[in-house]
Amino acid sequence: QTHKKSRRPQRRRKTREKNAAWCIRPVSDVCHRSIRLCIHHRLLGVRQCAQRFSAVGIRYGKYCGVGWSGCPGEKPCDDLDACCKIHDECVDKKGLTNIKCHEKFKRCIKKVQKSAKVGFSRECPYDTVVPTMVQGMDMAILLSQLGGSKFEL
């Protein structure tokens, strides 16, 4: 005898896997041109929050993602997007290899994840996006450390 309840957890798991795959896109995807899109969005009056990943990584909200710093004057979509905005402002001011900016960003996004708040995106929930962002920042910190090292031969 088949029970309907036995199928439901499997459906939920598939939905979660599908959502995670939707948020994480391969490097072969087309790169997002933030300035051109920003101008295009302003002309059309579009004020949407993205919930996918670009060619290099995350594209979440208006400020999250490599090479994506949002449109000036736009409010962040949620608390996670606000962390990204603060990080963008920090690296703009102090440089892309500033480890303190990356560490502050990691603390901010982990705090958002622990807050139990729900972000704007149902397709890319905090539990999917934050671990990927943390990994990205760990890689940025590592590369910043390597770039700052002097090797002797």
Residue 49 is predicted with a pLDDT of: 56
Residue 57 is predicted with a pLDDT of: 62
- 0.85 cut: is pTM over it? no
Q: Which of 3, 40, 41, 87 is catalytic?
A: 87
Residue 28 is predicted with a pLDDT of: 27
Q: Which CATH architecture has domain 4-148?
A: Up-down Bundle (1.20)
Average pLDDT per 10 consecutive residues for the chain, totaling 153 residues: 51 48 36 39 47 57 79 85 94 94 97 89 83 91 79 46
* Residue 3 is a catalytic residue: no
C-alpha pair distances (Å), 31 with each of 26, 136, 147, 153 = 11, 17, 25, 38
Delimit the domains of the chain by residue range. Answer: 4-148
Residue 127 is predicted with a pLDDT of: 86
Residue 74's CB: how many other CB atoms inside 10 A? 17
